[in-house]
Chain A
Amino acid sequence: MSDTSRGARQRLLALSTRERIEACWSTLGELPRHRCVRGPETGMAMLRGRMGGTGRAFHLGEMTLTRASVALDDGTLGHGWVRGRDHRHAELIALCDALAQHTEWQPRLERDVLAPLAEELTARQRRDAATAAATRVDFFTLVRGE
């Protein structure tokens, strides 16, 4: 994964499934203890669209959203947000955020969790693009006469 910023990590984890994060997470072994300092709690985000795709904003409707904040034993805070109502998913994102701030954990998190998830996300998006491309119309022109 080239972009290791907090925002890029949050995005990757929000676009991955909880099951896959959990599976990668379990390979980390013994982890620092943590407690939830906020949530996990489910609410909504009001989604905005733009008139004509580029113009003034309007409210399209809401979606469910879950957020969590955790604190590691040493007080390091981590936050996570994810579409939907999966508390564990939000908690795992917050845990990754907290762990990534530790120099000794960061490389292992990167190698065992984030890198495989990034690879899977890219593969999934490629697969979707390849499926869509198979339905692209190739026009051909019929020549009349000679």
Chain B
Amino acid sequence: MYVAVKGGEQAIANAHRWLADRRRGNRERAELEVEQIGDQLRLAVDRVMSEASLYDPELAALAFKQASGDLTEAVFLLRAYRTTLPRLAVSEPLDTANMRIERRISATYKDIPGGQILGPTYDYTHRLLDFLQLAGAEVPPAESRDDVTEAEPCPQILELLNDEGLVEQELDDGSEPADITRDPPDYPMDRAARLQMLARGDEGYLLALGYSTQRGYGRNHPFAGEIRLGQVEVEIHVDEWDETICVGEIALSECQLINQFGGSREAAPQFTRGYGLAFGHNERKTMAMALVDRALRAEELGEPIVGPAQQAEFVLAHADSVDASGFVSHLKLPHYVDFQSELDLLRRLRREHAQNTSFGQSESHGNPATEEETSARKSGQGKHDREGGVHGL
């Protein structure tokens, strides 16, 4: 017999009201404005946009506020909102070579055309807590160079190596990329789909996997060929005019890794590459993404698969924080009936175990019904794999 139970409506309503009250905090202080979050906590906003896979700073800031600063919850909110909008266009591939540079560094060449531009970075800060900020000290405006009227062109560093043939070239064969939001991911997955999944992947997860490759689990010895942050114009093709038009610009971070050689009897040894690209200022994310992208190319490059970061299905199926937190969180939902059946089974097993022990060891394998139950329980793990699929947004 199946018994449906219902209840908790008032408790839920009051819980949400308490949550809203907590979020609002001390009423004697001004309420945090969404605009302030977008302005002063922009790295959090960038991370939310990146992992939600939707570029909209205002909505990401709203999600961050609504989630009381819980980034995973904010990503979930924005990702859910994304499903309510129709797709009006597909952009031309973003031209990162024409980025309006805010930061651009290379760890492989000191002197590069356009120079090493540090931008607004936390690098070289001493990681000492700044008590002046606690005291609300005035912040001086950014320095600028009066003699500069035009941004110097900053060509992609890896293209310089291309001239000598020392690094593998990335060429466009014009193929139509897969889209994991339209077609369910399938393994083995091609690099375009992998990059799409990595771009929305959880930063902490990708960072850990990237780190694991550096520590020897699928080592591929990377150099940071170039990292750039800045504004890139977005162009779409419109039927009304039959031309490509600019609809605005977005902040992007890009990381180009140069990795150790591949080569064969036919092809001379060359540096290989890993690539990371993300919305906003998301440098660490793009570095982690590039490390993992390169690790996932192991099979294509004929490398032995020895580390977790090289196993595409493992890496990609667990990279999305919305999927992951959804399935982990579902453990909080009522499992009263599930658990009751486990209790019944456990009690029976213990009863039989007690009986068998009292009859002596020779009888211990003698109960076919119990074996059936136990193996059913073991294979029950498969149920969770299937359940996991439905959480994908």
Contacts and interface: CB of A to CB of B under 8 A. Distances in A.
Contact of B87 (A14, A45, A60): A45
Interface of B: 49-50, 53-56, 58-59, 82, 85-94, 96-97, 100-103, 110-111, 115-120, 142-146, 148-152, 156, 158-159, 169-173, 175-181, 191-193, 195-196, 199-200, 231, 233-234, 236, 238, 240-241, 243-250, 254, 256, 273, 275, 277-279
Interface in A54-109: 54-65, 67, 69, 79, 81-85
A81 B192 CA distance: 28
Contacts of B243: 6-7
B195 A53 contact: no
Nearest to A128: B100
Contacts of B191: 51, 56, 58
A82 B89 CA distance: 12
Contacts of B171: 54-56
A61 B256 contact: no
Contacts of B240: 69, 79
Contact of A57 (B56, B143, B172, B199): B172
A11 B111 contact: no
Interface stretch (A27-35, A111-119, A133-141): A133-141
A1 interface: no
Nearest to B56: A64
B179 A57 contact: no
Nearest to B226: A53
A2 interface: no
A59 B177 contact: yes
**Chain B contact residues: helix, strand, loop or mixed:** mixed
A20 interface: no
Given A44-B86, A82-B248, A132 B151 contact: yes
Contacts of A52: 158, 170, 256, 273, 275
B100 to A, nearest CB: 6
B195 A58 contact: yes
A11 B236 CA distance: 11
A48 B149 contact: no
A117 to B, nearest CB: 14
Contacts of A55: 169-172
6 contacts: A45-B91, A53-B96, A58-B192, A129-B100, A132-B102, A136-B116
A46 B82 CA distance: 11
Contact of B196 (A7, A58, A127, A129): A58
